[in-house]
Amino acid sequence: MKNLALKASLVASLLVSQTFAESAFIGFEGDYSFRSNLKIDSDSIGKGQAGLGIKAGYDFDTFRAYGAYVYDLKTKKTFTDDGDRVELKWTKHSFLIGGDYTPSISDSFKLLAGAYTGVSRINMKVRGDESGKFNFTGIVVGAKLGGIYEIDKSNAVEFGYKADYTKYNKKYDAKLKETNHGLFVGYTYKF
């Protein structure tokens, strides 16, 4: 009888500790892409770009799943095309879903390795010989690698490196692709 009570106590304590390790979370993130590289047909244009995002999801201790919205701030690039000066400005909205593998390295530090995908919409404004506003919608896929520092059981800071690729639908007789890679830092609050 004592043996059964001991086993039941052990199982109950494991289940309770596992339950407390799992929780919903919200957070925000900032990132800087060293080079947002746009490839329009055979031409390539690149410049650094900053972004801000919010996310919400569920943390299963060694794995987490989330949904996110990321807004890439306005970026401007001036270049010459066939001798004409052209100014290109663009912003981007992305709706993402992702999953991260987050094994514990120590009591307060976790590894972060994840992948994400979603829909992205880029808005472009061109000033030059052919001025106008254009927008494209496409599919984004990406990966990230970094760490999570848990300040306490509810607050954590995450940081690392991420890269993504977006292939936009063909529109205006143009094929548009985008690659980004850079650093990110964020904050999450667990309930």
> In this predicted model, what pLDDT tens digit does every residue of 141-157 receive, in sequence order?
999 999 999 999 999 99
**What is the SS3 string spanning 94-128?**
EEEEEEEECCECCCCEEEEEEEEEEEEEEEEEEEC
Distance CA 164, CA 178 (A): 8
Those residues whose C-beta lies under 8 Å from the C-beta of residue 84, and which sit 6 or more positions away, are 128, 129
Query: Which helix (H) or strand (E) segment is 7 a member of?
Result: helix 2-21
Q: Supply the pLDDT for residue 160.
A: 98
User: Helix, strand, or coil here: 2?
Assistant: helix
> In this predicted model, what pLDDT tens digit does every residue of 45-90 receive, in sequence order?
888 899 999 999 999 999 999 999 999 999 888 887 777 888 889 9
Mean pLDDT along residues 85-108: 94
Ordered by where they begin, the domains of the chain are 23-190 (2.40.160.20)
Q: Quickly list H helices, the chain.
A: 2-21
